[in-house]
Homo-oligomer: A and B are copies of this chain.
């Protein structure tokens, strides 16, 4: 039982500043983190540094399987970063991949199932703010999703990775992958298979010169950044390991609240809301 003197001290103490989103991530308990299976990490080395991609087999199993096979068959070696379009995407291709804009229909063909959306399922943490593109924005299993009419889909936020395709009925085959490098191009949602997100190293490629051809493709082979190697982390003894915040955890809910209500001393007027792509799921190197 507290003494009256202690209670008086507590009452007189200034209100503690609630933690910022950075504080919450830094202090998150071990239980709030989920290890990324090494089978879901694609490590891509290039002449301009490494990027690491977390694959999303729960949303695009056939595309992810195709990407894993390409990596294990060595098909990305000899490939290159072929496209850098400002405020849009950075795209890389396997050695047999496309180095020019999508072909018009009917050249395209369906190579894989159209894994563009799926029935709503999984533990859903809603983002309690309006979204222009979905009836409800939120998170499932560590990923940003939109939900409408019983369906859910991964959304095009910064660093999300999709499988480039030709015009319909093409669905892409994993030989061209792009990472979002600008304002979230949400109009692509439900039109392309998103297969994962870059969890490390994206700035190595977003700082590349922009391509000067249509859609930011490079004009010549000399402009492209060669890929030297691409491996699945499960096959590599010293590959980096990552953890993603559990989006069903109370810690993640506190993080969302703090992203919506910035308490850092720089801010005069917290927004009181946040959009899906401005509340990215925290990812870290496994400590």
Residues of A within 8 A of B (CB): 84, 86-87, 102, 104-105, 114, 116, 129-133, 157-159, 167-168, 182-187, 189-191, 202-203, 206-210, 259, 262, 265-271, 273-275, 277-278
Question: What are 16 inter-chain pairs, A to B, with CB distance below 8 A?
Answer: A86-B207, A102-B266, A116-B268, A129-B132, A132-B274, A133-B273, A168-B265, A182-B182, A183-B184, A183-B277, A183-B278, A187-B259, A187-B274, A190-B271, A191-B267, A203-B210
Complex: A207 Cα to B90 Cα, angstroms = 12
Report whether B132 and A275 are in contact in the complex, using a CB–CB cutoff of 8 Å: yes
Report whether A185 and B267 are in contact in the complex, using a CB–CB cutoff of 8 Å: no
Complex: A122 Cα to B158 Cα, angstroms = 33
Chain B: which residue is nearest A137 at the CB level?
B132
Report whether A86 and B157 are in contact in the complex, using a CB–CB cutoff of 8 Å: no
Cross-chain contact of A202 among B86, B114, B268 (Cβ < 8 A): B86
Taking A167-B265, A265-B104 as contacts, is the C-beta distance between A186 and B271 under 8 angstroms?
yes
Chain B: which residue is nearest A157 at the CB level?
B183
